[in-house]
Amino acid sequence: MNYTVVLPAAGSGKRMKADKNKLLLELFGKPIFLYTLEVFERDPNCEAIWLAVKEHERELIEEYVKRYDITKVKGYAAGGTERQDSVRACLEAIPPCGVVLVHDAARPFIDHEVIARLVEAAQESGAAVAGVPVKDTIKKVENGVISETVDRNQLWMIQTPQAFRYSLILKAAQAAHNDGFMGTDEAMLVERMDYPVAIIESTYENIKMTTPDDLIYGRAILESRIQEEQK
Ligand SMILES: Nc1ccn([C@@H]2O[C@H](COP(=O)(O)OP(=O)(O)OP(=O)(O)O)[C@@H](O)[C@H]2O)c(=O)n1
Ligand SMILES: C[C@](O)(CO)[C@H](O)COP(=O)(O)O
């Protein structure tokens, strides 16, 4: 099943504490977001890539897209104040399609096998997200004191990609905007419509490059993949 991918790439990267958009920081000489773009460029089921970018970064990003020969980038939308706004801008810009994936440009280590299972699940049920089971004990804290230990057997760390039937996620994104509802992922916008969202087990390598320590983990992931390829 073919799909279109929307990549929100218009954030400020505050938690990365860098002097520029964290997506432009390089791992082994290549900007983070190019690793993400290359995953979808190399996926035969990906028909089109759309990016939400800050206007003042668009020309630079277009130059990178050209230099790295990312041929599937079909368009750009102006990023918004919040991630949700950036995603909605892309959803409203892309031509109608069957299945659309929303994936953080800040998650460069997603793999094709997870994407394929996600797209298939979204084709069948209309909505599916990637995630991994929680590994740590999770507790609620109130006023600096533990108030509850949560049963982690039912807890997952939700990632992107998040895959949807296009008509469903467009309706959900526009309804949330009209209602002034702000979620932290697209699944929330569908959940609030009482629509079931499937979970697809992803990998723990699919980290979001958020804080400076993630650069360390990212380099280690790339090094392990290079060693694997050399075997
Ligand atoms: N207004 C925004 C905010 C975020 N993003 C994108 O959404 C993804 C996930 O967001 P996050 O990791 O939170 O990025 P930032 O918002 O840049 O990080 P921070 O919260 O540390 O500023 C990133 O690829 C980011 O570029 C976006 O397109 N538009
Ligand atoms: C969408 C997401 O990546 C799922 O885990 C996450 O909610 C994004 O959060 P952020 O604070 O906008 O990075």
On whether residue 167 sits in a domain, the answer given is yes
- With a 6 Å cutoff on the Cβ, whether 104 touches ligand 2 is yes
pLDDT attached to residue 190:
98
Q: Count of domains in the chain?
A: 1
Give 152's DSSP letter: G
Region 194-200: mean pLDDT is: 98
Ligand 2 geometric centre to CA of 231 (Å): 35
- With a 6 Å cutoff on the Cβ, whether 160 touches ligand 2 is yes
pLDDT attached to residue 198:
98
- With a 6 Å cutoff on the Cβ, whether 2 touches ligand 1 is no
Confidence of residue 162 (pLDDT cuts 50, 70, 90): very high
Strand partners, 132: 157
Q: Hey, whose CA ends up nearest to atom 12 of ligand 1?
A: 210
What's the token pair of residue 208?
A: 């979001």
CA distance 130 to 210: 18
In this predicted structure, the answer to whether residue 38 has a pLDDT above a threshold of 90 is yes
On whether residue 175 sits in a domain, the answer given is yes
pLDDT attached to residue 110:
98
pLDDT attached to residue 76:
98
Q: What is the mean pLDDT of the chain?
A: 97
Contact present, 3 and 100 (Cβ < 8 Å): yes
Instruction: Give the pTM.
Output: 0.97
Confidence of residue 1 (pLDDT cuts 50, 70, 90): confident
pLDDT attached to residue 188:
98
The 10s digit of each residue's pLDDT in 71-100 is: 999 999 999 999 999 999 999 999 999 999
Question: 18 Cβ partners below 8 Å, 6+ apart?
Answer: 25
CA distance 80 to 9: 10
Confidence of residue 61 (pLDDT cuts 50, 70, 90): very high
In this predicted structure, the answer to whether residue 60 has a pLDDT above a threshold of 90 is yes
Ligand 2 pocket test: pick from 83, 101, 162 the residue with the most ligand atoms within 8 Å of its Cβ: 83
In this predicted structure, the answer to whether residue 201 has a pLDDT above a threshold of 90 is yes
Domain that holds residue 178: 3-131+159-230
- With a 6 Å cutoff on the Cβ, whether 185 touches ligand 2 is yes
On whether residue 119 sits in a domain, the answer given is yes
Percent of the chain with pLDDT over 90: 98
Q: Hey, whose CA ends up nearest to atom 5 of ligand 1?
A: 11
On whether residue 139 sits in a domain, the answer given is no
On whether residue 77 sits in a domain, the answer given is yes
Q: What is the CATH number of the domain that holds 115?
A: 3.90.550.10
pLDDT attached to residue 89:
98
- Would you tell me how many other CB atoms lie within 10 Å of the CB of residue 49? 25
- With a 6 Å cutoff on the Cβ, whether 162 touches ligand 2 is no
Contact present, 70 and 41 (Cβ < 8 Å): yes
On whether residue 141 sits in a domain, the answer given is no
Contact present, 112 and 14 (Cβ < 8 Å): no
Contact present, 223 and 31 (Cβ < 8 Å): no
